[in-house]
Structure 1
Amino acid sequence: MKNKSQTKFGHSEKPPRMKLVCALLIGFSTHSQAQNPVSLMQPTQQVEVKAKSETENARRDASAKTIVANAELQRFGDTTITDAMKRVPGVIVSNGRIQLPGMGGQYTQILLDGEPLRGANIDHIPMLMIDRVEIYRLGSAEFSSAAIAGTINIILKKIPRDAQQQVKLSLSDAFAPAANLEWRASDKRDNLSYALSIAAGQNRNIFGAPRLSSVTMRDLNNDIVSEYDSRFVGTVKNKMLSINPEFQYKTAGGLSISSNSVIAFSRDQVGTDMNYEFSRQATFPIAYERDRFSDASQSANSNLKIGHRFLEDVRIDLTLGVSGNYSKISSHELHFTPTAAVDLERTMNRIRRRGGFNSTLKLSTPGFKNHDIVGGWNGSSQVDSDQRLSVDRKVNNSGISTITLDDQTTHSVVSRWAFFMQDDWRFQKTSTASMGLRWETVRVETEGNQLFAVKNVANVWSPIVQTLWQLNPENTDRLRLGVSRSYRAPSNFQLVNPRFKRVNNSIENPGYLANPNLRPELAWSMEAAYEHNGSDKWNYNLRSVVRKIDDLHRQDLSKIGDDWWRQFVNAGEALSKTVSMDTQFPLKRFMATAPELNLSFSVSKSWTTMSNLPKPDNRLTPISLTVNSNVDYTAKDFPLSLGASLRYRDGNPLLVNLSQRELHQAQTQLDMYGLWKFDKKTQLRLSIDNMLKRAYASGFEFYEREFITTRIDTQRPYQLVRLNFEHSF
């Protein structure tokens, strides 16, 4: 069975909001030009210089981190940070989630300027706002310890001193044309600097691609009991508007007040059709499903930061933030029998509200000789309320309808409080150590009209020790050693998501149950690394990370009565070991007569096991090997740059539980771009993602006492062509 499965893989009035945005654009642009018309003619090259300085600082910092500059993120003209990160060495983007090697995306913490992006989506942040990305594999005591695999910290640009404007228009086509527009303007008046960034787009998601699923059920004698195909066709339209105001006020006395906000509006409209074609024994009462789904969301995330230096050496930084999200979801489903009669009509209306606040207080001071000490606290509280009303109209064989109402409400409060202290100690002359301790408590209170009220409290002590040993005075060769404690708290979906039973319920199509008693995962991590950054421009790094996780979260699949249900439970422990290598150099380093080519290469290999499942497929993630190579060329005699990114990742079977195994196919992707600079302010960029346009298949195996069911999903391949026009003025 398993071997056989694996071989198959091979135009109108503008709405009020838009009028307001247009007015803001025109007014802001006019004001900026009137204030400083000369400075607008000056090109800005601030990003690359700043990022280079941050990279140099990271080489002297005991806290191990990798710096990815804005220029590298925007090479292929991506419109979201998630898409841009897929080409970064040592980073994987799978199913739209950013993750670090050795573990799934749920274990990687994503921060914005050191704070979780509460109430908003990271992909709503315009790329023009992002200065750089910092990747921490062990973390820092200043950040939340909810990062078992590591932390990705997105750093926003500081507001420039001079008036500037930038605009980027992106047109793309995969299954349907899409357009995105980004605009950013900034100015300064006396001690006040301010900026406004706006992004708007209309897209069609590639996950709406046609998909074919082939399902076969066999008995213990390997005889086919039932066999069918399900053909999925969907259209996913998305409209998005993001408004991002920023300001910063500084005084000669050292007081600094700044604020940044993300205000986003989005609407998803999804239409799906699922057709079941039974070639042997119709096992389901439903042969055709039609679903129309709408999700209108409004979100906001705002942080106010106040910093001041007093007593000469002591600096205090206070951050206050609020966030909120409102989503209105509705769907209408029709389910038909094989004779094309309506068997079930289901309507669902769901309203979800989320809101909260957060604060951080940090004191920084030099301690005794060669010590820099920072300490403080973090606090946040978020309330999540969910109300869902589902109405089912069931038609029996006599044509009589039965109405069933299902009204579910859930409410949860998640509070996090933490105290931390960190000492950065420079000993000898060339080596440093960072010793941090963080105490963090997570309190989760949940209740609902169909749930028992539950209160969970978890306290975690997180020591973090990292050392940097410079092996020569030039600091070209370094050795890093570190150990840390971290955790992952259950998500709201896992704790209080309303119960949902799927039509055509079966072992491969189960319903979902929440588990309000789910405990956090706890982990110890150890890292060792060797780094080389020579004056010969040849850079390379060798890293190894070992992680041990307790109270692992896994999906349990069980049959209750006649229905199958999926639920997250705590199940044993897991071990993850990862070894990686990356290098970057200009080809001229080895060939003096070579063209202007910059090359980079990275490879990562992971081994993972889980104690509660039998070998050999008791893995944490199906991806164990990733290879990433990049090449960039800059012409000498004309303003042309070219580049390509080739990525490979393997696919391995993964045992989810004793009743379910995932099947995955290896993937190879090639992206290419070309950039033409008309002058220092204007450029045109063409990129093509997934040049190879290979189909991708995945699947499942399900095990019952007497049957084994295999499902293979094949998605139509796509190729994304994107054209960007970028201008600064």
Structure 2
Amino acid sequence: MLLLLSPALVLAQQEVDRASNNSPTPSNNQLERVSVTRQQTDTDLRRREPVAKQLYGRDELDKYGDTQLSDVLKRLPGINVSGGQLRMRGLGGAYTQILVNGEPAPPGFSLDNLNPAQVERLEVSKAPTADQSAQAIAGTLNIILKDAPRVVQKDLRLGMAYASEKPVVNAGFTYGDRVVGGLGFVLPINVQQWNFVNENEGDRVRDHGLTGLRNSGRDRSFGQGFNMAPRLNWKLGDDETLSVQGFFIQNRFRSEGSNTTEVLFADPATPSKSVLPPSLLDTTRNRGTFSAQRVNLQYNNRFGEDRRIELRAGVGSGGADFNSGFFGRNKDGTPAIDRLTTGENRNRNTTLSGKYSQYAGDAHTVTTGAELERRTRDESRRTQQFDYRKANPKWEDLLTGVEGQPFDATITRSALYVQDEWEINPQWSAYAGVRHEQIKMASEGASSQFASTSKVTTPLLHLNFKPDPKGRDLVRASLTRSYKAADVQQLIARPTVNTDYEVRGPNARINTELGPDRIGNPQLKPELATGLDVAYEKYLPAGGLISVGVFHRRITNLIRTDRPRLMTVDYADTQRYVITQVNLSKATTQGLELEVKGRAGELFPSLFEPNTNLNLRASLNLYRSTVADIPGPDNRLEGQQPWQFNFGADYRLKSLPINMGFSAQIAPEFDVRQSVLQSQTSLASRSLDAFAAMQVSKQDSVRVSVNGLFQPQQGTRVVIIGTPDYNLNRRDPVPWWAVNWEHKF
């Protein structure tokens, strides 16, 4: 396929094949053969993928000068980020799989911990493939870390940002080169600070309408982080390479908060039914560290023209230490109750994998592979409280027999797969595969013993059709099976209690359906999903794209939080309302996905000149879902919004070396029926990001950006159906302003 070549791209790369010294000297009339190529764009790479996949490279990663990868992701079509959690097609949690260089992200990994400068590209897949885990009902994000450059690279980035109270700084340095002996390396290092202030307010009516409370609070979170992702490539021969990839994160975080609770109304005549919180003036303090380390070894060898082997091995570790304090006071400021929590967790993992590929005839490429991963987690946590209301107050465990007890879990994942990429004819190509995956989980600890094994076989079929064999346009279709296994926290039976209602002693009270305790369910089965995806991709001559797609997922064994139930428990002196997660029968979700991007002159030739330096993009995603065992209306999948609209533009000035742009995201307010008795309303969201960048010199550039302009109040409202009880929480988000300077040596 020949795309329109701009003069800059033509000058970017030229290869001249010259005659060897042993060949006759060409005469003056003989022309040398000149091959003109250009760097492939993200759209070019997307079109050549054997399965539907969206690719985003350095242009998208660098555009806004972001220091957190989550800020880049929220602008991509069909993706939103809420509380640091990635959501595709409106579905978060384990519905969306995150990989780093094709392998599961390390435990505790957060998108906020990774600087986009350390990333080579992002790969977004909406349907699974056999060579990656099928735990991707909504889709997969594969983060490809920075590779060793072909030429020397030295970049220095310095930045300052402001969101609340005081500015913070960030810095990054990348050094990469190719040295003698086929050895290449890259060393990206980043340090950053953060400082956020959240002001929130809320109203609660509980105890079947007997108690009304209003709270207002302020939380400040701040800290600093360091991360680096060094990589070493060694070319052992023409078809043989060895690479070592490191990945290191170290964060220190702190937070301080205060909260005031106002009693709007209560029934003092029935204190056993109208229960006030143990304190009305509260302060909190949290301290902690988080670290993660991973080293991966990869060996590639191509045997001749038709065979290839890839072997991988990796080890990793990490963990967190934390301590937090809660200091509750009465309305007059006298002490009521103090609570201290300390804990730590440690994670270790080992991975082994290998795959073998071979051409079978002229049209088939067959690949078979195996994977093995083992993860261990050791955790301990202890919460003690000092109740000043008792006659002889002293420090006591919050949950007798549970606090301070060690907990450990082991997860072993193994997989076998085979796949075939088949070039049927110039119009048709196919990708077929099957993957068998097994996950074993086991844990030990007080109230936390369980063993679980899940086995899933996932057949996969992807088809590509070109209406014109010589054209660019594609019709893609996929029929796949995927799954979502319950995580350790969903399986362990260790309780998490609502401390507004005392669990021991003379002040022990039954909690409410709106404020239940939580326990795990070791009997959970994995969710299974059968999926159908169909998309039409039209590739425009100048590099633009118009894509229309539909999808459908049928999910069985859906994991959902059950209705609160009044139970007798061993950790409390009274009965307690408790929720746990259960497997429901089934659910379905389907949607329509529209995406348009390209030069304004190509998309709207009647409005813009062909050479206008304006790029436009927009995406609209419509979602609908139904959970069979929960009555409607609004019995949709948890957290899935009805629609999401993104649009943006980039413009480069002709007279000055300045380019600028913006990106906006909009989603509506929506309701979700969470259970037979409970419903949740999520408030509408909208956000505007903008940037302006100037090339000051050949080596220096300055970029000014803002994230999160014009955001409305965010929050949720949870109601108990058939009662006056509800819980409303709201917060006022603030924009993030930044200025960054980059110098290329």
TM-score for both structures, normalised by structure 1: 0.89
Which residues of 2 match residues 562-573 of structure 1 at below 5 A? Answer: 562-573=575-586
Instruction: Say whether the 8 Å CA contact 1:141–1:420 is kept in structure 2.
Output: yes
SS of corresponding position for 1:251: strand
CA distance in 1, matches of 2:711, 2:13: 36
Deviation at 1:536, TM superposition (A): 4.9
Amino acid corresponding to residue 586 of structure 2 in structure 1: E
Deviation at 1:132, TM superposition (A): 1.3
CA distance in 1, matches of 2:457, 2:88: 23
Q: Is the alpha carbon distance of 1:592 and 1:400 closer, same or farther for their aligned partners in structure 2, counting shifts above 3 Å?
A: closer
Q: 1:700 aligns with which of 718, 735, 741?
A: 718
SS of corresponding position for 1:144: coil
Q: 2:659 aligns with which of 637, 641, 645?
A: 641
CA distance in 2, matches of 1:708, 1:74: 50
Q: Is the alpha carbon distance of 1:667 and 1:612 closer, same or farther for their aligned partners in structure 2, counting shifts above 3 Å?
A: same
Encode CA deviations 1:338-362: one digit per residue, 9 max, x unaligned: 4433232222211111101011101
TM-score for both structures, normalised by structure 2: 0.87
Q: Is the alpha carbon distance of 1:397 and 1:131 closer, same or farther for their aligned partners in structure 2, counting shifts above 3 Å?
A: closer
Aligned counterpart, 1:491: 487
Deviation at 1:397, TM superposition (A): 5.0
Structure 2 residues without counterparts, runs of 5 or longer: 1-10, 15-36, 267-274, 502-510, 568-573
Instruction: Say whether the 8 Å CA contact 2:84–2:110 is kept in structure 1.
Output: no
Instruction: Say whether the 8 Å CA contact 1:332–1:348 is kept in structure 2.
Output: yes
Amino acid corresponding to residue 648 of structure 1 in structure 2: I
Aligned counterpart, 1:548: 554
Deviation at 1:113, TM superposition (A): 1.4
Q: Is the alpha carbon distance of 1:50 and 1:318 closer, same or farther for their aligned partners in structure 2, counting shifts above 3 Å?
A: farther
Amino acid corresponding to residue 599 of structure 2 in structure 1: P
Q: Is the alpha carbon distance of 1:501 and 1:44 closer, same or farther for their aligned partners in structure 2, counting shifts above 3 Å?
A: farther
Encode CA deviations 1:631-676: one digit per residue, 9 max, x unaligned: 1101111101110112111121112222321111111211111111
SS of corresponding position for 1:523: strand
Deviation at 1:304, TM superposition (A): 0.7
Q: Is the alpha carbon distance of 1:255 and 1:350 closer, same or farther for their aligned partners in structure 2, counting shifts above 3 Å?
A: same
Deviation at 1:133, TM superposition (A): 0.9
Instruction: Say whether the 8 Å CA contact 1:622–1:651 is kept in structure 2.
Output: no
Aligned counterpart, 2:433: 436
Which residues of 2 match residues 256-335 of structure 1 at below 5 A? Answer: 256-281=241-266, 283-335=276-328
Q: Is the alpha carbon distance of 1:329 and 1:687 closer, same or farther for their aligned partners in structure 2, counting shifts above 3 Å?
A: same
Instruction: Say whether the 8 Å CA contact 2:329–2:337 is kept in structure 1.
Output: yes
Is 1:727 the counterpart of 2:723? The answer is: no
Is 1:630 the counterpart of 2:648? The answer is: yes
Q: Is the alpha carbon distance of 1:718 and 1:384 closer, same or farther for their aligned partners in structure 2, counting shifts above 3 Å?
A: same
Is 1:347 the counterpart of 2:340? The answer is: yes
SS of corresponding position for 1:708: coil
Structure 1 residues without counterparts, runs of 5 or longer: 1-42
Which residues of 2 match residues 509-548 of structure 1 at below 5 A? Answer: 509-548=515-554
Q: Is the alpha carbon distance of 1:386 and 1:333 closer, same or farther for their aligned partners in structure 2, counting shifts above 3 Å?
A: same
Amino acid corresponding to residue 253 of structure 2 in structure 1: D
Of 91-100 and 497-506, deviating more is 497-506
Of 89-98 and 364-373, deviating more is 89-98
Is 1:714 the counterpart of 2:730? The answer is: yes
Aligned counterpart, 2:386: 393
Deviation at 1:537, TM superposition (A): 4.4
Instruction: Say whether the 8 Å CA contact 2:601–2:609 is kept in structure 1.
Output: yes
**Aligned pairs, number:** 676
Instruction: Say whether the 8 Å CA contact 2:84–2:111 is kept in structure 1.
Output: no
SS of corresponding position for 1:690: strand
Aligned counterpart, 2:704: 686
Q: Is the alpha carbon distance of 1:102 and 1:303 closer, same or farther for their aligned partners in structure 2, counting shifts above 3 Å?
A: same
Aligned counterpart, 1:145: 134
Instruction: Say whether the 8 Å CA contact 2:412–2:439 is kept in structure 1.
Output: yes
CA distance in 2, matches of 1:167, 1:115: 29
Of 360-369 and 503-512, deviating more is 503-512
CA distance in 1, matches of 2:395, 2:739: 53
Of 228-237 and 540-549, deviating more is 228-237
CA distance in 2, matches of 1:626, 1:578: 11
CA distance in 2, matches of 1:123, 1:413: 26
Aligned counterpart, 1:179: 169
CA distance in 1, matches of 2:733, 2:658: 30
Instruction: Say whether the 8 Å CA contact 1:352–1:387 is kept in structure 2.
Output: yes
CA distance in 1, matches of 2:325, 2:493: 20
Amino acid corresponding to residue 146 of structure 2 in structure 1: K
Which residues of 2 match residues 3-82 of structure 1 at below 5 A? Answer: 52=40, 55-82=43-70
Q: Is the alpha carbon distance of 1:53 and 1:375 closer, same or farther for their aligned partners in structure 2, counting shifts above 3 Å?
A: farther
Which residues of 2 match residues 600-611 of structure 1 at below 5 A? Answer: 600-611=617-628
Encode CA deviations 1:528-565: one digit per residue, 9 max, x unaligned: 11110021544200001100111111123333344333
Amino acid corresponding to residue 351 of structure 1 in structure 2: E
Q: Is the alpha carbon distance of 1:185 and 1:493 closer, same or farther for their aligned partners in structure 2, counting shifts above 3 Å?
A: same
Aligned counterpart, 1:20: none
Q: Is the alpha carbon distance of 1:225 and 1:479 closer, same or farther for their aligned partners in structure 2, counting shifts above 3 Å?
A: same
Deviation at 1:52, TM superposition (A): 2.9
Instruction: Say whether the 8 Å CA contact 1:102–1:578 is kept in structure 2.
Output: no
Instruction: Say whether the 8 Å CA contact 1:622–1:664 is kept in structure 2.
Output: no
Q: Is the alpha carbon distance of 1:123 and 1:51 closer, same or farther for their aligned partners in structure 2, counting shifts above 3 Å?
A: farther
Aligned counterpart, 1:579: 592
Encode CA deviations 1:439-473: one digit per residue, 9 max, x unaligned: 0011111221223x321111111111000001113
CA distance in 2, matches of 1:310, 1:497: 52
RMSD (CA atoms): 2.2
Is 1:199 the counterpart of 2:206? The answer is: no
CA distance in 1, matches of 2:447, 2:142: 38
SS of corresponding position for 1:285: coil
